[in-house]
A and B are shown apart, each in its own frame.
Chain A
């Protein structure tokens, strides 16, 4: 599903590479935490998958796409197979919950009848049935993140990338969001989540890829946040 082969990424403005010789292989349906301190390369890792960046060296494959070689006009096709969730939710404040989720389908040209059918389904999946006419500001942080997840998942992507999705939430709400991501993972969707949140990583016991100064220093199949050996 995702394969990075000896990927190095150097930003023009920086002397130190953001990622250095990173090789990671993520299979279909896996749940992977990418952890590490700030500046360790987690975000760069996710951005490479989205083709927000291209690697300076090495290869990036996402499903069947050779991401770095993808012509610009085909990038949207790649991104339609990936859902994204962020720490700051990134909802459109002037649109309702329903409209926020529908927006993701509208802009890729899905017909109205599909939208009317699919959006309520996904809102039910994330536990927001009955809140489709609310505005984002009327929702709690956890609920807003559920809207964001619904939007990321509504087009049934092959994988879900989550960049610190619990970063703005309290522990209980974070736990709920993790349950939701787990449920999405059980539908066969690959989930890659970058996080700082030690307790979440420890409680989930999923694969952990740890980055430090742009290098992979650990890749455990059932890991915890800290070294426990």
Chain B
């Protein structure tokens, strides 16, 4: 196989249908950006889950009466609630958080939002028993067993919040995947079209090649490589796009998100997502190329 021959065939082929090639590259790139975003969200779901599950707590909020009277959980019903919780096999530790402490936690959580701080006062925030579980999945049992107990006003299950968050991330992921799939289909059709046009404009060459006894590799490899090169350029553009999105995202916005959702960093994009995108692009373009040649180009 003469590499220089194949190379020059590929480069003339790409230049000959330059509008088609550009269209195909851009479609591939955008489709892969969406696919990449989808992969990032998948990773974000995991990271976010881990992040929350590490510090996942069930907060058993106590009634106003207890909150005001009992600042260190020494009287009933607080004491018995705490003891019962500690005896529950699913529970790891139980910590009493009185109103003053709760207010500190609140101030810390909303330090960037002065309006919220103005609205709140230490008296408005109830005391709670912060329950850390041995395994987060059992939070439902605690909620069930203690909601009706005397002195309990409300039980906040941290797990539910995470579930809701994860659910909405999954919706986002599905949207990006469906979008990328539709665009990928468009890219596929463009690849197929590109190869057909390319084969048509080069029909004399291919005809001569067949007659003088060139093997299928020689007649078809240029077309296949043409599709693969275009696909690879699309993938490189998509990777550059994803990375620059991550780098150029205003840091304020990123920090704000970071409190809620954990997104993977550029390292993950560069070394996990990029190879996947590149491989996908090459694989799909060569596969479509192969099938198109089989169907449309006689050997």
Contact = CB atoms under 8 A, between A and B. Distances in A.
Interface of A: 50, 72-73, 75-84, 90, 92, 103-104, 106-109, 111-112, 151-152, 155
14 contacts: A50-B211, A76-B213, A76-B214, A76-B216, A79-B213, A103-B205, A103-B208, A104-B208, A106-B2, A107-B208, A107-B212, A107-B219, A109-B1, A152-B212
A69 to B, nearest CB: 18
Given A72-B299, A106-B2, A107-B5, A79 B210 contact: yes
Interface of B: 1-2, 5, 204-205, 207-216, 218-219, 299
A92 B204 contact: yes
A106 B211 contact: no
A103 B212 CA distance: 9
A164 to B, nearest CB: 16
Contact of B214 (A84, A108, A112, A151): A108
A108 B209 CA distance: 8
Contacts of B219: 107
B5 A106 contact: yes
Contacts of A104: 208, 212
A109 B213 contact: no
Contact of B213 (A72, A80, A106, A112): A80
A108 B216 CA distance: 10
Given A72-B299, A92-B205, A107 B211 contact: no
Question: Which of A78, A106, A107 has its CB near the most chain B CB atoms (within 10 A)?
Answer: A107
Across the A-B interface, give the 6 residue pairs with the lowest CB-CB distance, nearest first: A80-B213, A79-B213, A107-B214, A76-B213, A104-B212, A107-B209
Contact of B218 (A73, A82, A109): A109
Contacts of B214: 76, 107-108
A101 to B, nearest CB: 11
A76 B215 contact: yes
B213 A78 contact: yes
Nearest to B217: A109
Contacts of B215: 73, 76, 108
A72 B294 CA distance: 13
B218 A107 contact: yes
